[in-house]
Amino acid sequence: MDLQFIEPELREGRDKIERAARRQLPTLVRDEDLHGILHSHTTASDGTETLEAMAEATRKRGFDYFGVADHSQSAHYAGGLTLQEIAEQHREADRLNKRYGGKFRVLKGIEADILADGSLDYPAHVLKQFDFVVASVHSRFKLSKKEQTDRIIEAIANPLTTIIGHITGRQLLRRPGYELDVDKVLRACAKYGVAVEINAHPWRLDLDWRWHQKALDYGCIFSINPDAHSIRELDHMHWGVEMARKGGVPRDRVLNAMGLTDVLAHLSKRKSARNGGNRHSPAKSPRAA
């Protein structure tokens, strides 16, 4: 039997031998495939470093872009950004981007809380100012399974959402995730072109790798994010890649495996579509370049 080589991360006793016999295993994403970092925090919310320091550290690691995603205004415990602080951060990003001259880019993002009714934690006219929006749950963990699922799907269906953050809310060795129909959530992400986060922080590793193949089958894309709150935590990216590999994720299904030009085009296309105001119009998944 002429078996395709099975990467060590895939050797979990599932269907990999059969797929290898048919030469249907994917070429797994690697650290060097990633061109940028998304979902990181700065001193503007609960991070330990300035935007400039985080951007510089990202650039020196060989990446092409840094997507800042500080907490939104409801996250009082984490210093969530006021409207004035958003404007200040955007001016700082513009200053840095002018200095980088197109060779590196700071992307303006936000980690917007998903409120109990599924709405996001700023009005639409504010969210439209960002290049991308990570929508995450940080409260009301004890809602019923149906309520929690409906809440998150409502946020996914919002055309202002780019990435759904740490879907299940689990923190390893700290707390279990909230009750959630993950299958329904993944179907919604595929329908609306919202990237599923593989949160690389060692406390999270969420979405769990056991769901990755299901997400791939539905047509989801992923975003491997460090959720970094310091320069050192930027290197969590590696653990996100390891989880993606274990879940069988190829490079062309990862948002931040897109180069700077392609990711800017993708974000611009989504922004144009959402500014058109069709609240529940599906978006096509990007393909990594």
pLDDT of residue 215: 98
pLDDT of residue 24: 85
List for the chain the helix, strand, coil content (%; round to 5): 40, 15, 45
Q: Name the pTM for this structure.
A: 0.92
Residue 121 confidence (pLDDT) above 50 = yes
Dmax over CA atoms of the chain, in Å, equals: 64
Residue 281 confidence (pLDDT) above 70 = no
pLDDT in tens, 193-230: 999 999 999 999 999 999 999 999 999 999 999 999 99
pLDDT of residue 79: 85
Q: What is the mean pLDDT of residues 37-43?
A: 97
Q: What is the mean pLDDT of residues 251-265?
A: 97
pLDDT of residue 77: 80
pLDDT in tens, 67-82: 999 999 988 888 899 9
Report the run of H or E that residue 67 belongs to, with start and end: strand 65-71
Cα dihedral sign, 247-252-258-264:
negative
Question: What is the residue-averaged pLDDT of the chain?
Answer: 92
Q: 219's torsion region: left (phi>0), alpha (psi -120 to 50) or beta?
A: left
Residue 29 confidence (pLDDT) above 90 = yes
